[in-house]
Amino acid sequence: MTDCCIIGGGIIGLSIARELAGRGARVRVLARGGRRDTASWAGVGIFPPAPEWAGCGSYAALTAWSDRLHRQWAVELLAETGIDNGLRPCGGLYVATAAGVDRLHAAARDWRARGAECHELDADGLAACEPALADAIGRGVVAGGILLPAEQSFRSPRHLEALEASCRLRAAVVTHEAAVRDVLRSRGGVEGVVAEVAGTVETVRARHFVLAAGAWTGTLGEKFGLRIETRPIRGQILLLQLPRPVLTRIVNLGLHYLVPREDGHLLVGSTLEDAGFVPETTDAAIARLRMVAHDLLGDVARVQPTRTWAGLRPGTVDGLPTIGAVPGLDNAFVAAGHFRAGLHQSTGTAVLIADLIQGQRPPVDPAAFAADRPPAPPSDDSVAAYLARAAAESA
Ligand SMILES: Cc1cc2nc3c(=O)[nH]c(=O)nc-3n(C[C@H](O)[C@H](O)[C@H](O)COP(=O)(O)OP(=O)(O)OC[C@H]3O[C@@H](n4cnc5c(N)ncnc54)[C@H](O)[C@@H]3O)c2cc1C
């Protein structure tokens, strides 16, 4: 019998599958679409520095722990599968106009107080760091910024490919085009799930079930008696092929960013839109992203887009993911709602869920992520706060 059936083939589901299969469990993953139909594939893979400091909350502790695990997993995945997920400490610049520089400098003090290396830069310092910004500095679009040398990035499509290959090497079964439609419940637990697999109906029975269906978790969770919100928050991305690589670091301007690849590709992101379950790009948003690239890099960014795409982040009311047992069921768990940080927090989430399933004490206290946690007042990390920031920036 399958030990664990995981519903969802994004980074959260595949990471949990890899971790459990590595511990000897027989694992089955059911994923409704292909890898490209996930927020995980669409995501950019920026990992800001992840310090842990005395008295930091569970969210920062989960991120810090995940960050350490990512370094380990990148090495293991390369050794196991031969796939390099591209995890690199490229560094991140956060830039602003004259009106926004003070706020960035205050953020720099916060970063240092938490133990992260962070440097304030004036216009000359920025231009020395990234000469391609000289044009934007000359036009007053950028007046100063901060440098976070420990910011990292990875290539999420490559990471997903490596995760899936690692799962298979560990004898986990990953089935794509397998949509879970129903849940068979009995005496305080789940007996099985009914899935439509390539046109046929299959009942999958297992000892444990994990619901990791990203933005779709809220709706599917109702069949488990679970009441959580995972609101789909669309993010659109524009990919440009520049004639030559012009940046070495990630450049963040408000909620927008430029992420350079070594081959001259440049990712320009992103939007934050409450637009329902519609993972499609729009002309207006792509035009705005082209403008951001042009504002920061000038004419060098005036090239035709190579590709555009969109994904649906799973957003939650309080900005925290839900990771833990499904209340009222003794063999069902949920791991969803990671919003803007699911790529980063995937490794820690996987170990946390595996520990909970196996009755071990996880290194991070999971209480803050419980499905039945009391409603928290909306924070700066909540979906509502981010949507308000995005609206203010595009006004
Ligand atoms: C544009 C963009 C940029 C981002 N940038 C970053 C970043 O820089 N850093 C970062 O950490 N995070 C980033 N994120 C957020 C990150 O991508 C998400 O938090 C993360 O991918 C969520 O992973 P997931 O596995 O929960 O969901 P998903 O990747 O969406 O996977 C959900 C899975 O559930 C499956 N599913 C749904 N319903 C069913 C069903 N009924 N039956 C079976 N399977 C089902 C889907 O098919 C899919 O396989 C970004 C997201 C976007 C959109």
Span from the CA of 7 to the centroid of ligand 1 (angstroms) = 12
> Which atom of ligand 1 is closest in space to residue 233's alpha carbon?
53
- b/e per residue 337-376 (b: at least 16 CB within 10 A): bbbbbbbbbbbbbbbbbbbbbeeeebebebebbebeeeee
- Residue 55, classed as helix, strand or coil, is coil
Span from the CA of 52 to the centroid of ligand 1 (angstroms) = 25
State residue 375's pLDDT score. Answer: 81
Q: Is the pTM of this model over 0.85?
A: yes
CA 255 – CA 381 distance, rounded (Å) = 13
> Which atom of ligand 1 is closest in space to residue 45's alpha carbon?
8
Span from the CA of 385 to the centroid of ligand 1 (angstroms) = 20
Ligand 1 mutation target, pool 320, 340, 386, most atoms within 8 A of CB: 340
State residue 377's pLDDT score. Answer: 77
Span from the CA of 340 to the centroid of ligand 1 (angstroms) = 10
Span from the CA of 342 to the centroid of ligand 1 (angstroms) = 7
> Which atom of ligand 1 is closest in space to residue 153's alpha carbon?
8
Of 165, 212, 209, 202, the closest CA to residue 38 belongs to 212
What's the CATH fold of domain 2-86+155-230+316-375? FAD/NAD(P)-binding domain (3.50.50)
What residue ranges do the domains of the chain occupy? Answer: 2-86+155-230+316-375, 92-152+232-315+389-394
Longest CA span, the chain: 69
State residue 395's pLDDT score. Answer: 78
Ligand 1 mutation target, pool 44, 233, 381, most atoms within 8 A of CB: 44
Contact 159, 77 (CB under 8 A): yes
Of 382, 43, 47, 45, the closest CA to residue 235 belongs to 43
> Which atom of ligand 1 is closest in space to residue 31's alpha carbon?
44
Output the residue whose Cα is nearest ligand 1's atom 12: 341
Contact 55, 199 (CB under 8 A): no
Output the residue whose Cα is nearest ligand 1's atom 3: 43
State residue 252's pLDDT score. Answer: 97
Of 3, 38, 77, 18, the closest CA to residue 351 belongs to 18
> Which atom of ligand 1 is closest in space to residue 30's alpha carbon?
43
- Give the number of other Cβ atoms within 10 Å of residue 98's Cβ: 11
CA 185 – CA 192 distance, rounded (Å) = 7
Output the residue whose Cα is nearest ligand 1's atom 37: 213
Output the residue whose Cα is nearest ligand 1's atom 19: 342
What is the residue-level pLDDT of the chain in tens, covering all 395 positions? Answer: 899 999 999 999 999 999 999 999 999 999 999 999 999 999 999 999 999 999 999 999 999 999 999 999 999 999 999 999 999 999 999 999 999 999 999 999 999 999 999 999 999 999 999 999 999 999 999 999 999 999 999 999 999 999 999 999 999 999 999 999 999 998 899 999 999 998 899 999 999 999 999 999 999 999 999 999 999 999 999 999 998 899 999 999 999 999 999 889 999 999 999 999 999 999 999 999 999 999 999 999 899 999 999 999 999 989 999 999 999 999 999 999 999 999 999 999 999 999 999 999 999 999 999 999 998 777 888 899 999 999 998 87
Q: How many residues can be counted in the chain?
A: 395
Instruction: Count the alpha carbons within 13 Å of 393 in the hemisphere toward its beta carbon.
Output: 21
Handedness of CA 132, 85, 92, 232 (dihedral sign): positive
State residue 141's pLDDT score. Answer: 93
CA 270 – CA 185 distance, rounded (Å) = 40
Phi–psi pair at 177, nearest 5 degrees? 55, 40
* DSSP symbols for 328-343: T-SSEEEEE--TT-HH
Span from the CA of 71 to the centroid of ligand 1 (angstroms) = 21
Which CATH number applies to 92-152+232-315+389-394?
Answer: 3.30.9.10
- Residues near ligand 1 with C-beta < 6 Å? 7-13, 30-33, 37-40, 42-46, 179-180, 212-216, 220, 235, 237, 269-270, 311, 313-314, 336, 338-344
* Residue 188 token pair: 């305080």
Span from the CA of 78 to the centroid of ligand 1 (angstroms) = 22
